[in-house]
Amino acid sequence: MERLSRLRSRLYLMFLLSSLVFLVAFLPERIASDKEGMRFSFLFDDMIDEKRVVLFDLSSEKGISESAEIVILKGEPTFWTPETLAEKLRGKLVGIVEFDSSYDFARKVALLKGDGLFFRIHTVKPEEVEKLKLDEDALFHRYKRAVLERSVEVLWIKDIAWKDSIVRRLSEYFKESVVPFPALSQPALSFPRWIFLIPPLFLIVSYNPLFLIVVVVLFFSKEWFVSLLFSLGTLTAYLVTERKWLKVLNIFLLSLSLSLSLSDFYHLNGVLEFRGVKLSLVLLPGFLFLKGLWENRKNWKKYLPLLLFAVPVGFYYIVRSGNAGWVLGLERKIRDWIEGVLVVRPRFKEIICYPFFWLEGFREYDFLRESFGSIALVSMFNTFCHIKTPVLVSIYRSFLGVVIGYAVFLFLKRILNRLLTSK
């Protein structure tokens, strides 16, 4: 038993050392690539001449002119399959419009084309501006966020009241990053990405050697292997040590390994995504919650209302984890104000959950505190799941979450100590 304990300690040390060595060696290349990938272009309505630049409606049976060089896809794909359209568009630049009904279809087309000729577009429709009552500042922050957090190559500025002002503000903010239309996709990195699968393997085996069975999935699907490996890594990163700062460090190193292991062309440019996003969000908090319920099963009736409360809260938590989550008008204004101050907005769930991660002493309800607090850690991991986000932005956002969350913890701890000592 003592030998096994020493072996686990050594494997955990190998996780820490290999993570740090690989990051020192290869992280600078990713940072330099991200800087190049933040170059973007402006697109205006009058530039779509339907000759060289074509806006192609996927719900139409109309064909694509041979003379078209740039084809922007939009609408529901009614008459086309990805395979057919990919064949027709091979050799042409394809525009993929974010949050449009064509988005997933267009990404499949770009992947099937296989020539790397595509770019992503962010735009805000005039009817959306009117419906959401967006003002100039809100639009500026939205376009800025598209470049800063998602490295979008093209900003399509529609003919709206603040068009010229928004273009001027974005040009001044990003200075030398504006290039002629269209800006091209971010190139893949040259370092061996598979090497970043080694640290998480050390990590999961250091907790339980039986977890090595996950390697079997590699023979069937590389994507699912990576998803399961890193999702399982979030669980073991938490359980492998009792020291809370080491738990944070484990998740941080694991997150960076994920981001660099998926730094291939199609992940960097948002065509492919990490498949384990939802699993990694629920595995650790769910495990801690169910483990706590099991350990307190003799008093299960006392915790029944918690189960009824946890299901809708968990559903809301998962839905809000992506870009599709709904945002209230007031929340949007608060977000924009925070971005104006800090450049990048820390995640609210981290600011709320980190204090519970650090706090202790909830007695029989401590497993609830632990489960809720662990959401902060998987939220940090989730930040790095968005591979198209420049890695320095993800690091800075995670740093803000830890620092602000810890500051809130110290504030709450002081208040609780005063309340307890005053009685």
Q: What pLDDT digit, counting tens, does each position of 129-168 carry?
A: 888 888 898 899 999 999 999 999 999 999 888 899 999 9
| Amino acid 134: pLDDT | 85
| Amino acid 319: pLDDT | 53
**pLDDT at position 201 over 90:** yes
Q: Which residues of 256-284 are buried (b: 16+ CB within 10 A; e: fewer)?
A: bbbbbbbbeebbbbbbbbbbbbeebbbbb
* Amino acid (one-letter) located at 281: L
> Which of the given ranges, 56-65, 66-75, 330-339, has the highest pLDDT on average?
66-75
Here the tokens at position 165 are 């002002």
**pLDDT at position 299 over 80:** no
Secondary structure (DSSP) of 116-147: --EEEEEE--HHHHHHHT--HHHHHHHHHHHH
Secondary structure (DSSP) of 172-204: HHHGGGB-SSSPPPPPPP-S-GGGGGHHHHHHH
What pLDDT digit, counting tens, does each position of 230-268 carry?
999 999 999 999 999 999 999 999 999 999 999 999 999
**pLDDT at position 269 over 90:** yes
pLDDT band at 22 (very low <50, low <70, confident <90, very high): very high
Counting residues of the chain whose pLDDT is more than 70, the rounded percentage is 91
Q: Tell me the three state secondary structure of residue 62.
A: coil
| Amino acid 325: pLDDT | 46
Q: 310, 388 in Cβ contact below 8 A?
A: no
What pTM did the predictor assign?
Answer: 0.90
